[in-house]
Amino acid sequence: MRLSRIVLSVAGFLYALLGFLFLFAPVTMGRWILLSVPSAAAATEIRAFYGGLEVGLGAFLLYCGNRPATVIVGLVAMTLCTGGILLGRLTGIFLDGSPEKMTLVSMIVELFTTVTGILLLMDE
């Protein structure tokens, strides 16, 4: 249980941190992940989805990691969300032929997080 709580807290912190970076610096962060931000509407979309959604997920994972009664729910959320992102990334690599360095680094982090979540859920 202790390791699960630590993993949820670290994942929550990282999701929230990335979310705040996208929320307040969408153009800079967009360049970091190879997205152009050609308009104010595009910046708002990045702020909302990459920023707001990640801040919300991060807050939820932090909440779950700090309450023993919600650890399993948090692990399920972390595993499914990160696994879904991984599925989308793998689909993009396969269909779009987009194995850029940043894409591959992100894929490795997502794979590690998804597998870690599965293993922790099996242990709970």
Instruction: Output the CA torsion 2→85→19→96 (10° steps).
Output: 150
pTM attached to this predicted model: 0.92
Q: Which residue has the tokens 């709580």?
A: 5
Rounded to the nearest angstrom, the gap between the alpha carbon of residue 1 and the centroid of all alpha carbons in its chain is: 22
Quote the pLDDT of residue 120: 98
Q: What is the 3-state secondary structure (H, E, C) of the chain?
A: CHHHHHHHHHHHHHHHHHHHHHHHCHHHHHHHCCCCCCCHHHHHHHHHHHHHHHHHHHHHHHHHHCCHHHHHHHHHHHHHHHHHHHHHHHHHHHHHCCCCHHHHHHHHHHHHHHHHHHHHHHHC
* CA nearest neighbour of 5 among 91, 67, 73: 67
pLDDT single digits (tens) 42-75 = 999 999 999 999 999 999 999 999 999 999 999 9
Residue type, 112: F
pLDDT single digits (tens) 15-29 = 999 999 999 999 999
pLDDT single digits (tens) 80-121 = 999 999 999 999 999 999 788 889 999 999 999 999 999 999
